[in-house]
Amino acid sequence: MKILWCIFIEEPHTRICNLRIPNRPLAVIFAFVQLTVSVASLFQHVYSIYKHRNVFLCRAAIPVNATIQQRYLAYDIIIFDFGLMHRVLGTEECVANYLDGGYMRFGWCIEQSSALSLAIFSLLCMPRPLWLLWPGLLLQSSYSLGLSVLTMATAPKLLEALGGRVDMDLGLMFTAYVFGFLFNWIFTFILWHHYWHLERKYNPPSLKRSASYKAPNVATPSPTVANV
């Protein structure tokens, strides 16, 4: 699989500008980075519940001199939204709050953090059984698709904002979002190709098993006996 012009993702390894890197250490690094994002998002809920008795008190409209605590709850870290949606869509809260108040986001952060932790354990310590990677593969694929849906839904407003005056703040917000989008899709592809490599290595195709099977010898009648 070719991404951009310099990244080739294959089952045993990935080539970046002709530099061949095994997929296993790459998947571990990507999983650790995304786990950091997921845990940071999870602690947003923990802090909000502890401090404000609210599952996710996210207020996107913050002053320039806002404190670290205010900024921490103003950004939707799990979707790499550091003020972009407020700037582009004019939202006063994080996107998750408009859905159900942030409860699904809270559950998602728990599930993704658990799945990535299990995937890291499998990648580092226990490559078999392969089903240890299934939760990570499922949630990571769903997560990347979710980012794609969000991007397509906001694309008209994003293009409208980028077509106007682009200042430093908007450029940084957009860069962070695009980085998160591309990072997670590349991570998804690498994780899947590594899984397919392990599946091919530990679970040979059924065709090989059927080819190695020898049917029992069955006596066939001779032509002379048949003529009689």
Residue spans of the domains in the chain: they are 24-202
The residue type of 219 is A
| Assessment of whether the complete model's pTM goes beyond 0.75 | yes
pLDDT > 70 in the chain, percent: 89
What stretches of the chain show up as alpha helix (H) in DSSP? 23-52, 68-74, 84-89, 95-100, 103-124, 134-163, 168-202, 206-212, 223-227
Cβ-contact 58, 73 below 8 angstroms: yes
Distance (Å, whole) CA 202 – CA 147: 33
Per-residue model confidence (pLDDT) at position 206: 59
Per-residue model confidence (pLDDT) at position 207: 47
Per-residue model confidence (pLDDT) at position 129: 85
Per-residue model confidence (pLDDT) at position 208: 47
Per-residue model confidence (pLDDT) at position 217: 57
Cα-Cα-Cα-Cα dihedral sign, residues 143, 145, 150, 155 = positive
Backbone φ and ψ for 55, nearest 5 degrees, come out as -65, -30
Distance (Å, whole) CA 220 – CA 217: 9
Per-residue model confidence (pLDDT) at position 226: 45
Residues of the chain with pLDDT under 50: 207-209, 211-213, 225-226, 228
Distance (Å, whole) CA 110 – CA 39: 8
* Alpha carbon separation from 219 to 15, 18, 113, 151, 208 (Å, rounded): 56, 59, 62, 67, 26
pLDDT in tens, 171-220: 999 999 999 999 999 999 999 999 999 999 887 665 444 544 455 555 55
R_g (Cα) of the chain, nearest Å:
25
